[in-house]
A and B are shown apart, each in its own frame.
Chain A
Amino acid sequence: DAKTTQPPSMDCAEGRAANLPCNHSTISGNEYVYWYRQIHSQGPQYIIHGLKNNETNEMASLIITEDRKSSTLILPHATLRDTAVYYCIAGPAYNTDKLIFGTGTRLQVFP
């Protein structure tokens, strides 16, 4: 199971794009990249996932490098409510007991 590396914290001005990086250099071909976030002490919330192609949904965009060794989560217009811990996880489609939540990146959005 691929290990991911994320910066412990980042800041972003409200209204600007927040770009959260993640390194997953040991990811295997059948492993997805998943992003979740946890606001304060609430339960983690799913954001987006991808395998090879870039993905976009109503919450965010996910850019995966061609070699799949790293990815970036983009929140296009960050708001104060996006302040949270963001988890990047690399894991298989099945066997989701293998999804390892690390300590993530604490994103602080400031006015």
Chain B
Amino acid sequence: NAGVTQTPKFRVLKTGQSMTLLCAQDMNHEYMYWYRQDPGMGLRLIHYSVGEGTTAKGEVPDGYNVSRLKKQNFLLGLESAAPSQTSVYFCASSYGQSGANVLTFGAGSRLTVL
């Protein structure tokens, strides 16, 4: 049982390049999330999804796009990378049903934009 898997773990981009981060979960969770974490700061929500085929904006969505074509996968795209998007990106998933909603996080993807 792998939980939440993020690929790649590290990536270096040049300004203006595009890339996609992949998040995969094997827990049959309905909800999935993408966060970013900058040095010395907490996590900020970029986009999230409450089910297959759905996406919604979080706190800091500008410059990112997402897709949830399959329930187990949540993709985060950067169409034209900027140095301000240098960060560590975390994907998470949760069951999304009744009761407390506990998040399971991936190990993170460290992105550097030069």
Contact = CB atoms under 8 A, between A and B. Distances in A.
Given A96-B31, A97-B33, A97-B58, A87 B42 contact: yes
A79 B89 CA distance: 28
Contacts, number: 57
B74 interface: no
Contacts of A36: 103
B108 A46 contact: no
Interface string A41-73: 111111001010000000000000000000000
A99 interface: yes
B42 to A, nearest CB: 4
Interface of B: 4, 31, 33, 35, 40-45, 48, 56, 58, 88, 90, 92, 94, 96, 98-108, 110
23 contacts: A34-B102, A36-B103, A42-B108, A43-B92, A43-B108, A44-B105, A45-B105, A46-B104, A49-B100, A49-B102, A87-B42, A96-B31, A96-B33, A96-B101, A97-B33, A97-B56, A99-B103, A100-B42, A101-B42, A101-B43, A103-B40, A103-B41, A103-B42
